[in-house]
Amino acid sequence: MGTSVPVLNKTPGLLFYKLLGSGHGKGFSIKPNFKRYGLLCTWENEQAADAFLNTSDLMENYKSHTSESWTVKLLPFQAHGQWDKQEPFSPTLTDNYTDGPLAVLTRASINWMALPGFWRFVPKTSKALDAAEGLICSIGLGELPFIRQATFSIWESMDAMRQYAYKNPLHQEVMRRTRSENWYSEELFARFKPIASQGTWNGTDPLAQLML
């Protein structure tokens, strides 16, 4: 993935991107998964995104080395925080989005002094995702092992996501410790409306039945 940087830097219409490794399980994990990677991009417009996804040599090269790939297009409707001192997800929806599936991205740069506490506690919370009602899919991602971490998840509804985020006791404890123990030097939370889905994740399109 790292060899893609020069090509991505010259891609027309690409505003912001991150090449991401992944961990095992559905959330933050110290155990890397060397079989699954992510490419997150923001674009000037959908035409630029489609040109890259459908005709670029880089995407063809990725596909030639994969047994499975999945692409989801998203429109941001809420975002708070920064990623590398940037705010890459400017909300594009003029109306509140409350009906239908939604995607959630959380990412953080973890303070060095907070690393022991973070990694002692957070994996327990990630395991709670296994029993979360309304969770369609979820993955832990990262730019840098242990330090720069993210979680991407898709939920059946806003209510399902809120039920986990605000009522799950383990997640509530993470939110409390994040502030009291100063875990993060930088953080970003964003919510998105899925508008298109193509390919498969674990053999199926996670959004196929929700976007008919």
Q: According to the 3-state scheme, what is the secondary structure of 120-182? A: HHHHHHHHHHHHCCCEEEEEEEEEECCCEEEEEEEECCHHHHHHHHHHCHHHHHHHHHHHHCC
pLDDT in tens, 153-172: 999 999 999 888 777 677 67
Report the first-to-last Cα separation within the chain, whole angstroms.
Answer: 33
pLDDT at 42: 97
pLDDT at 126: 67
pLDDT at 164: 83
Is 17 within 8 Å of 5 (Cβ atoms)?
no
pLDDT at 155: 95
Q: How far apart are CA 97 and CA 17, in angstroms?
A: 25
Whole-prediction pTM value? 0.89
Torsion of CA 23, 42, 133, 187, to 10 degrees: 70
Segments in the chain below pLDDT 70:
28-29, 94, 123-127, 168, 171, 212
Closest CA to 189 of 156, 165, 160: 165
pLDDT at 131: 77
Q: Which residue segments constitute the domains of the chain, with CATH numbers given?
A: 22-33+70-199 (3.30.70.100)
